[in-house]
Structure 1
Amino acid sequence: MITNLARGVQAFTSNAFLVEGDRTVLVDTGSNFDAVARIEDRGADLDAVILTHTHHDHVGNLEAVSEAFGVETWGFDTDQPAVDNPIGDEESVRMGDHAYTALHTPGHKNDHLCFYSSAASVLFAGDLIFQNGSFGRTDLEEGDRKRLIESIDRVRERADEHLAEMHVGHGPSVTTNPYQDVELAGRAARME
């Protein structure tokens, strides 16, 4: 089961997805809301935090979550203070009841990862791709439009056209033909 703990939060935050199952993980912690209370409300026994990237809105609640549940954090770049353990490109990561492949997808931020499971037919797209073909900002530090387009193309080539769910860093998850949104993002990123 995948639950967005940040749903309904009015403050500026990323989404924070609790993925429950054999290995219960939190994909990004969000910021500016009580993530600990929301995890406790679900009665979840958290095993790890997995980061799509280390922008503040995705890691603002990290310290509180780590302390409350005694969990370590996994992400692409252990030089980032928020990341305890590395996840390499193409590495398999267990989340919930499925294995996900980590895809290094820079362009929005150098340490950005997406996570794709063909068995679950789920993509965690972070801030690379959003609903309706929107895509991550490239005007921030480490932003690079060319690399972003390459990363979107990589996800499009890897994901199955029958992709069932795409969970994004901001805004609603996409559960109706999300592969189309991936394709739209690739086209839109080339036009601007």
Structure 2
Amino acid sequence: MIRNLAADVGGFTSNAFLVAGDDPDARTVLVDPGNEFDVVSRVEAAIDGLDAVVLTHTHADHIGNVDAVVEAFDVDVWGYNPDHPLVDHALADEEDTRLGGHDYRVLHTPGHKDDHVCLIRGDGAVVFAGDLVFADGGFGRTDLEEGDRARLIDSIERLLASTDERLQELHAGHGPSVHRDAREHVELALRAARTY
């Protein structure tokens, strides 16, 4: 199960994806808790407990609710930069982490922010893209601190090279998720980032 708990929230927040699974090895994870809405009550309404928080990156709209989630569920936070005060454990490039009932490969994808990662499911069917790429060919802004267009393009190229036709679902940090032919949206984002 992948559910966006911020789907109907207006205001300054990212999407907040609750990922759960049915098998005994499943780990219930909140990918990017979002900001400025009561994500705790939404987690509680959806599931009995939470095992971890995983961050795609540490911009305020993705991490504003971290403290409330940690306090409510007594969970650790995983992110690429272990020196960030909210991160308890490092996600290493090319290593696996468990989300729901699947292992996901961590892909370091800077350009929007230095600590940005994407998460690719082991079977290649699903990616959590953070703010690297969005539905319909959108891509992350590079006018903020640590933003770099050339690095962003390199990261989109890396994501594209790390996926194939099996990629069906793309869950981005903002906007709608894509549920079929997701790789085409990544290709569109690469073309747009190179052009605009």
Q: Are residues 1:71 and 2:114 paired?
A: no
CA distance in 2, matches of 1:131, 1:101: 21
On the 8 A contact 1:118/1:160 being kept in 2, the answer is no
Code of the residue aligned with 2:155 in structure 1: it is: S
**Matched residues, number:** 192
Uncovered stretches (5+) of structure 1, i.e. residues with no partner:
none
- Who is 2:13 aligned against? 13
- Who is 1:101 aligned against? 105
Instruction: State the superposition RMSD in angstroms.
Output: 0.9
Q: Are residues 1:138 and 2:142 paired?
A: yes
CA distance in 2, matches of 1:69, 1:178: 33
Task: Call closer, same or farther: CA 1:27–1:146 in 2, change over 3 Å.
Answer: same
Shift of 1:120: 6.0
Runs of 4+ in structure 1 displaced over 6 angstroms? Answer: none
On the 8 A contact 1:118/1:159 being kept in 2, the answer is no
**Which of 21, 44, 51 is the matching residue for 1:47?**
51
Uncovered stretches (5+) of structure 2, i.e. residues with no partner:
none
Matches within 5 A, 1:1-192: 1-21=1-21, 22-119=26-123, 121-192=125-196
Relative to the length of structure 2, the TM-score reads 0.96
CA distance in 1, matches of 2:102, 2:47: 20
CA distance in 1, matches of 2:48, 2:154: 36
CA distance in 1, matches of 2:19, 2:124: 12
Code of the residue aligned with 2:165 in structure 1: it is: E
On the 8 A contact 1:98/1:120 being kept in 2, the answer is no
CA distance in 2, matches of 1:79, 1:61: 19
CA distance in 2, matches of 1:163, 1:101: 14
Identity rate, percent: 59
On the 8 A contact 2:124/2:164 being kept in 1, the answer is no
